[in-house]
Structure 1
């Protein structure tokens, strides 16, 4: 049975327990949306929701905590199933959860390089499974929180897990390029956004200092606004629409990436 909600707009934000995801959830809830806050565990998501209620007075009815560890694709599948049952109409999916690739090459239990799985494959699977909810009424959209580092990347088609030659920066950049390419998938309307260099856990990959997570989140929350018109596959550097890396707009690359992703997530996306 769908959760009761005081808003006509429902948004799922992954990685909503800290950083840009948390601030995006805050801004959306303050703007009147019902926000589904994802964390690695339900307990972490509940604690983040309680912080919003206590610190900024967000209506508790607007916040719904969900847990799923993106290093386990079975948990992503369970998350999609639970969200789909409770919210058959989802206005926006914000694919924000992300990690910096570790110093040492790390493979998940699903057999994927960890940054590629958490930053891209989990979001690919979640989006595919939530497609019916996102397309049940006009206006559904996906906002991928990407990175300017996607411009430095290449997808290693023959070795996407970088077993032969691993670099944490290259692995992270590859995951961000894949997420940016995925925005051009025709199944749902989606955009990608680089929210700027922000003072979050990912800052060491970029610089020594950055703007606040709240400032970066404003660019994400803006693209969740149904009054903001978007074009499928568009890429934003903060508020400005710019061209992404050339590979991100190639139909052949989109098809090739979907084929690879389908292979790596198994039959879960069907």
Structure 2
């Protein structure tokens, strides 16, 4: 087995959302240790800078390999600003890791953009970010998007007429719906993308799944593997840890992929024409 610092990613630029803690932080650490330039995203500038400082101080990461960005995914205008800044500073991205996520709150909560908060943070923000970064992600062979999803997507259904679940809200159903949408989005033909359930990990999302889980570092290893250009991927593929498995049937239907885009575009303020 290769050493964790084997330089698999020299010369590659990778954006990791939700990189200030948990799986995102460990993913960023492993990528930077292996030679990647890692763009760290966090909700606030303070959190993101603290994560970068910790990577330098405790993991010995070269600070030249890190660049920090802040955007609250509960605000789509901040997602747009993030995307424009990244494209300006890094016209080519090798990988986008859509990792940022939250557990749906107990009570139905709507963002300033008018969307149920878990649906926006876990899916719509990543949908918008990916669409805006598309030109930077499609210029070279091997460019890809890795969506950090969940096996709970299998329990979900997308409420097409009420995606914000205003009429009937359940925190577990809202979270699962956001993960199904993210998994379906991996099959969108605009970019090459895969989804991965990294296992049940001991992170802030653990209460959604169980009472105990593996370490975030163990979960991150499955994400990092899919970032490796030596690992060939098929658009829309779904992995549970390192195993390629079939996702929920809806995630492979062309009709559902197209329907999801038509649903998401107006919710994020994009033209459907």
* Same topology, TM > 0.5: yes
Tell me if structure 2 keeps the 8 A contact 1:147–1:176: yes
Structure 1 counterpart SS, 2:69: strand
Deviations 1:6-50 (A, max 9, x none): 941000000000000000000000010000000001221111000
Asked if 1:246 corresponds to 2:249, the answer is yes
Asked if 1:189 corresponds to 2:192, the answer is yes
Tell me if structure 2 keeps the 8 A contact 1:125–1:268: no
Give 1:269 shift. Answer: 9.1
Give 1:266 shift. Answer: 1.1
From 134, 138, 142, the equivalent of 1:139 is 142
Structure 1 counterpart SS, 2:200: coil
From 66, 78, 81, the equivalent of 2:69 is 66
State the match for 1:8 in structure 2. Answer: 11
1:26-175 aligned within 5 A: 26-175=29-178
The 3 A distance-change label for structure 1 pair 33 and 268 is farther
State the match for 2:232 in structure 1. Answer: 229
Unaligned runs of 5+ in 1: 1-5
Pairwise CA RMSD: 1.2
Aligned residues: 265
Structure 2 counterpart SS, 1:88: coil
CA distance in 1, matches of 2:33, 2:244: 26
CA distance in 2, matches of 1:80, 1:105: 28
CA distance in 1, matches of 2:272, 2:95: 19
Unaligned runs of 5+ in 2: 1-8
Give 1:268 shift. Answer: 7.4
